[in-house]
Structure 1
């Protein structure tokens, strides 16, 4: 079936909490790329101005392969080292520090238009909320800076737990932190297969498919549709 509301909007049992993935569900990168950060090329070019767009593209692909091969979200410096080595640029301590320097999150990230109003309504209804995300440890700080951190009681973050979804520990960390059983939690993710894994563990689940995707996993096209399920 294609993305959009599931043919059957019901979820098993009373939902007392919603567990949210972050990227693709709550927030998105301005410019469309999650990693490396949007200022990666600009920062490296200050050291090696002769590098080409094609060389950067190949380095980003090498970084993607490194991320995909890691059992959990890797150390950010190690990720940057892989790309810098691919570019023939020495990963000096000052350069690594500059690549991870703090910048206002609103310069590179934004929430989807339906996020805040949906979170406010869930809060009004007393539906509890947590985040389950393959991300670096500073994700709660990013959410705070974007104005949504106040909505969440707990975070399950891959770089902190040492595992990625669909490892059951990711899902269970969030529901346990809320003191709830899996069946009392609705899990949302933009990857249908991660939703499928959650459903197999006893969670209710919906894939958030903001653009059409062929999947047999129950889905919604936006967060506002979740309000009919809780």
Structure 2
């Protein structure tokens, strides 16, 4: 999945929400403030406090960061409001499922990832999740890979690991998994790769 509009912060509905409070803001003002917000995030070494981040952006817009506005900017919305899957994802998952291929997710992510996938309509394809925030480790820790394959009741050599990081795929292959790097934008030749998720279908 990816963030709509190509950015994780602020959320894709930021402008719409803000303009409902301050309709006089111009696209140029919003663009400049968001760019300053990017600098703010880049200077952090940990996950930001999003209220602090929003206060920073609003200050550069000259907008009062009221409690109501801050709450609106972080209100719960369906994942599809700010996230989308790549065009090749659902078709490929559906076909893999039809062929009886069992699937799990191995991700450096927060615990709510399954709920996000549910909101995007793809949760039903995955039997298990290995999530870093739950397991207390991140890829390429072998526990991440083994948690997923064990949950499926499969040995590493029965599994194919797909990731957009060559290093993480190489680590999986070192543990006995088959691997493919998903290179949507550029070709990586150091380890086996595919240019589209649909190419995975040729392996089953």
Q: TM-score range by the shorter chain?
A: 0.7 to 0.9
Aligned to 1:57: 35
- TM-score of the superposed pair, with normalisation by structure 2: 0.77
C-alpha RMSD of the superposition: 3.0
Aligned to 1:20: none
Per the alignment, do residues 87 and 105 of structure 1 end up closer, same or farther by CA in structure 2, a change over 3 Å counting? closer
Aligned to 2:99: 125
2:5 partner SS: coil
- Using CA pairs below 8 Å that are at least 6 residues apart, which structure has the higher relative contact order? 1
Task: Please tell me whether the aligned partners of residues 41 and 56 of structure 1 are also in contact (alpha carbons under 8 angstroms).
Answer: no
- TM-score of the superposed pair, with normalisation by structure 1: 0.69
Aligned to 2:132: 158
Shift of 1:207: 0.9
Per the alignment, do residues 102 and 204 of structure 1 end up closer, same or farther by CA in structure 2, a change over 3 Å counting? same
Shift of 1:105: 2.1
Per the alignment, do residues 154 and 92 of structure 1 end up closer, same or farther by CA in structure 2, a change over 3 Å counting? farther
Task: Please tell me whether the aligned partners of residues 12 and 81 of structure 2 are also in contact (alpha carbons under 8 angstroms).
Answer: no
Q: d(CA) in 2 for partners of 1:95 and 1:35?
A: 16
Shift of 1:188: 0.9
Shift of 1:82: 5.5
Shift of 1:175: 1.5
The yes-or-no answer on 1:174 pairing with 2:148 is yes
Q: What residue ranges of structure 2 are gaps of 5+ in the alignment?
A: none
2:97 partner SS: helix
Task: Please tell me whether the aligned partners of residues 129 and 151 of structure 1 are also in contact (alpha carbons under 8 angstroms).
Answer: yes
The yes-or-no answer on 1:212 pairing with 2:186 is yes
State the number of aligned residues.
Answer: 195
Q: d(CA) in 2 for partners of 1:65 and 1:204?
A: 38
Aligned to 1:188: 162
Q: d(CA) in 2 for partners of 1:108 and 1:55?
A: 19
1:128 partner SS: coil
Aligned to 1:13: none
Task: Please tell me whether the aligned partners of residues 28 and 112 of structure 1 are also in contact (alpha carbons under 8 angstroms).
Answer: yes
Query: Which structure: larger Rg?
Result: 2
Shift of 1:42: 5.6
The yes-or-no answer on 1:100 pairing with 2:100 is no
- Residues 9-24 of structure 1: matches in 2 within 5 Å? none
